[in-house]
Amino acid sequence: MPGTSPFRGRPAMRNRTIRTTILAASVLCLCGFTIVWDSEKTADESAAAAATDETRMAAYAEEAWEPKVMPEIASHVVPLTDLRAAIASDPDAAGEQYGFPRDGETSPWNFAVSGEGKIVDAKLKSRAAKLQVDTDGDGKGDVTVQLGPIIRGTALRDAMPFIVFTDFRDQIEFAKLANALNAVAHSRLTLPEGDVVGQTARFEGVIALKGDAQSVELVPTQLQIGE
């Protein structure tokens, strides 16, 4: 048709071609990626994200108790009377012979001990419940058996050679692990009822060396009370 340009209509065609090319390129780019929506997170991942220091350390302590903690104690346990005699002779030699490995010379020795004696005092209604046990027959308590649920100290954690500070995030998390292990120790005890003064206590557990070990504070891992 006279006056009609042979290129009329081609700009629109070019625009459609460009849009098609961009769309195809976008599809190709997306092919290399996987979109994961929040709703696709596993239950374990969601639980891990929501876990607090307390819950994580509690789970760690519970899982380690039977396969790791108790075998370590069984392999190191020494009668308290024997330990006292060894410490009186040479504390460092006693530590090398009976103690758990320690983290440097300034750290106290920790020991797994067993023994028995007469209960001379009992505070059972406190959240920091404890027994005073006379193991040497002088009528005075020389072993404080911590019953809990509040149990002081870090002896149980510090005694375990498989627990290394650098494996944990910081000092706060490490402290909560000590509390978690003490809590497991408490949960494994069958607590006495009624008046137990005058009865015999047979125990096994962990102490941190303070002085000559004539008076010690015990985190019990086993406890039996009876005549």
Residue type (1 letter), 104 = G
What's the pTM value of the predicted model, to 2 decimals? 0.76
pLDDT band of 100, cuts 50, 70, 90: very high
- Predicted confidence at residue 173, as pLDDT, reads 95
- Reduced to 3 states (helix: H, G, I; strand: E, B; else coil), residue 209 is coil
Residue 44 banded pLDDT, cuts 50, 70, 90: low
The per-residue pLDDT for 45 is 52
- The alpha carbon torsion through 180, 182, 187, 192 (nearest 10 deg) reads -160
| Statement: residue 30 has pLDDT above 50 | no
> Which CATH number describes the domain made up of 53-226?
2.40.50.420
Inform me whether the pLDDT recorded for 182 exceeds 60.
yes
Domain range annotation of the chain: 53-226
The predicted structure's pLDDT at residue 103: 77
pLDDT tens digits for range 108-153: 899 999 999 999 999 999 999 999 999 999 999 999 999 999 999 9
Chain-wide mean pLDDT for the chain?
Answer: 84
Cis peptide before 149 (omega within 30 of 0): yes
d(Cα 195, Cα 227) in Å, to the nearest integer?
Answer: 12
pLDDT reading at 198 higher than 80: yes
Q: Stretch 11-38: mean pLDDT, rounded? A: 49
3-state SS, residue 163:
coil
